């Protein structure tokens, strides 16, 4: 009986297998990055908008929900919240972010650009966006 307890304790203490990227991982779309590069080249978006987009991608939660709201992103970037809202309008017009309908001032990064979540849900979202 003691032998079984020791084996069970050994199995319970075995560390979980770690992934190469840790727990935070997202998929990027090469097509979305190409479009972002084109928008930068034709000056549709500026570097402030790109800074805001990258900050949103860093703060992105499951299924691309961006937490915290834009005012907190402004504080983190050292920008005024008016500059962040202006950048968000540009990103909205270009289709790189979407406005969350249930929360004012909260956004979601477009699944056409990147995705953090299950592949099955990504396929559903891409079907909805198209």
- What are the phi and psi torsion angles at 65 (to 5°)? -75, 130
Task: Please report, in tens digits, the pLDDT of each residue of the chain (130 residues total).
Answer: 455 444 444 444 445 555 566 666 788 999 999 999 999 999 999 999 999 999 999 888 888 988 777 788 899 999 998 999 999 999 999 999 998 877 676 789 999 999 988 888 888 888 876 5
pTM of the model: 0.77
DSSP code, position 103: S
Domain 24-129 classified CATH 1.10.10.10?
yes
Which single residue is written with the structure tokens 């727990």?
A: 23
Q: Coil, strand or helix: which one is 14?
A: coil
End-to-end CA distance of the chain: 61
Q: What is the CA radius of gyration of the chain?
A: 20
**Distance in angstroms (rounded) separating the CA atoms of residues 59 and 119:** 20
- Partner residues linked to 114 by β-bridges: 28
CA 37 distance to own-chain centroid = 18
Domain residue ranges in the chain: 24-129
């Amino acid at each position: 009986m003691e032998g079984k307890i020791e084996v069970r304790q050994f199995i319970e203490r075995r560390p979980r297998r770690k992934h190469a990227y840790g727990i935070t991982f997202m998929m990027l779309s090469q097509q979305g990055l190409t479009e972002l590069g084109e928008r930068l080249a034709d000056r549709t978006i500026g570097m402030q908008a790109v800074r805001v987009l990258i900050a949103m991608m860093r703060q992105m939660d499951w299924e691309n929900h961006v937490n915290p709201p834009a005012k907190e992103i402004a504080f983190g970037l050292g920008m005024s919240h008016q500059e962040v809202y202006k950048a968000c309008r540009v990103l909205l017009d270009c289709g790189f972010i979407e406005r969350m309908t249930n929360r004012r001032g909260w956004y979601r990064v477009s699944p056409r650009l990147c995705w953090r979540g299950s592949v099955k849900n990504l396929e559903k979202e891409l079907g909805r966006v198209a």
